Structure formats: C-alpha cells, structure tokens
Amino acid sequence: MIKALNFDNEKNIVYLDYNIFVDSLEKADIKNKLYSLKTKYKYVYSSAYLEELANTAIKDVNIKEEVIKKDLENISKLTNNIGLRPTTDTGILPVVEHPKYSYQRVIDYLHLTKLSENNSKNFMKNRINHIELVKKYNINKDKIDLLDPSEVFYDSNVEMLVKECSRFGDLYLSINNASLWRAIRKDFSLLERNIEELFNLLEIIGYNSENNKKSRSRLHDVTHAIYATKANYFITNDNKFRNKCIAVYSFLGVTTKVCEYEKFISDNI
C-alpha cells in the first residue's frame, strides 16, 4: 500500500547523491553522522538509487541476492521508506513505500534505462558536432568556467544560445520567464526534459564537462538532479556535478540548496 505525502511546507527534506549513500554503507563515521540528524531531517530516495543498484548487480554477476536485499533495507532504514515518484499531474510525488517495490519496477523496465544510457552515450560522443553553434555565439569555455555557477546561464552569449535552442523547440523554456519553475514542476515529463536539456547545454559549451566514458554515470547524475528538486537540500561531493546543478537550478528557479557533505554536516553537528 502506497501512502502519498505532502512536502509543500517542509523545510528539512534531504536528498543524498548515491555516492554519499554508498559511503554511509562503507564508513561508519558517515553513517553515524547522517543517522544522528534524522531527528532534524528527512532523507528521501528515488528510482535513481535503485537504477544504480540494479546496474551494480548486472555488472557484477557475483553479487548475491542477499546483498541487494541488504542494500534495499539500508535505504529503507535511512529514509523511513520515504520515496519520490514521477507523475504527470503533480510532478514528483513523495510517498511511503519500501524501496524493494520500486526496485522491482526498475528491474521490470530496465530496458528503458538501457535505452536512456545509450542515448546519453551517443550524445556525449556527438556533442562535438555542436561546436559551430558554440563558435557562433563566441562562447569562451575559460571565461565561463570562471563564473559563479549561478551566473552561467545569464552570460550574454550563453543566453543567446539558450534562446536559439528554445526558438527551435529544443527546450521548453524561455529566458527570464519568472513563472518557469511553476510551469514545469507539476509535470514530470516537462521537468525531466528541461533539466536534461540544460545539462546537455552545459556539456556542449564545455562547462565542467565530463569524459565520454562517464556517459552512464552522468545520466544517473542528471536523474538524481531531477528528483532532488523535490528536496530542500541536495548533498553531493562531486564538484563538477554540484556546479552544474547550481547552474541549472538557478536558471530554473529551483530552491533546492546544493552543498557538500562536509559543509552540510558541519552546519548541523
């Protein structure tokens, strides 16, 4: 039985990057600190956690079912079974559901995850094809890298690139649209499309860009960034990913605070 929750007035929802969660399994100090904050914060999981867990199981055939069950129980204990699910009418819906059920759905639709991974791989391989567009608007990677992440999409040259993409339908957004976040947050497909495309644009202009070999992990990073918009805090130690999240969230008007694990802990312990 799934129970829907309302996060509208919550101020203490925390979404951990999957790597932080894995660290909590392997390092007692991290686990103890995260658990010590459960009286103040609510941790949540998403299907992105379970996609990464499923990929780990597929890559290593020696991983036993008992190990998967143990990881699912650890997710359950940390989050008190509070998960995030996509919907077309309410955007991301917080629910109470044991992660084992979400994991089974991931397994049932794993072919779609593989399709997304292939699309991400092809994008990363072919992003060089957009070099003329970058040259057209005289976008200087070295200059962009020096900007505060929250200012990247407001660089005048990057703005023109985004406007062109919007005009040709590559993005469901328009520059300086104050109601943009309100317009997309209630429809998961719109939310997903906008965030994916903005992350793609950051790769095209070379901002904190990733190696082609990281196309799979990049895909799951973006999925975490999508679900984390429902939280008040998104904790990640990946500097490149954190900067890109801040850039995308700032542009869309997402209020989720993106911060490092150590910063989050030191502010609370």
What's the pLDDT score for residue 54? 86
Residues 30/264, Cβ–Cβ less than 8 Å: no
For residues 28 and 15, what is the distance between their CA atoms, to the nearest angstrom? 19
Instruction: Return the domain boundaries, the chain.
Output: 3-266
Q: Extract the tokens encoding 250.
A: 């700032």
Q: Over 82-96, what HEC string results?
A: EEEEECCCCCEEEEE
Classify residue 196 as exposed, middle or buried by CB count within 10 Å of its CB (0-12, 13-18, 19+): buried
Residue 15, SS3?
strand
Residues 5/95, Cβ–Cβ less than 8 Å: yes
In the chain, which residues have pLDDT < 50? 168-169, 175-176, 215
- For residue 79, count other CB atoms closer than 10 A to its CB: 24
Q: In whole angstroms, how far apart are CA 209 and each of 1, 127, 181?
A: 42, 11, 25
Question: For residue range 190-234, what is the model confidence (pLDDT) as tens digits?
Answer: 899 889 889 988 988 889 877 655 545 677 899 999 999 999 999
What's the pLDDT score for residue 111? 74
- What does the radius of gyration of the chain's CA atoms come to, in whole angstroms? 19
Residues 7/100, Cβ–Cβ less than 8 Å: no
Q: Residues 212, 213, 215, 217: is their CA dihedral positive or negative?
A: negative
For residues 35 and 264, what is the distance between their CA atoms, to the nearest angstrom? 13
Residues 184/172, Cβ–Cβ less than 8 Å: yes
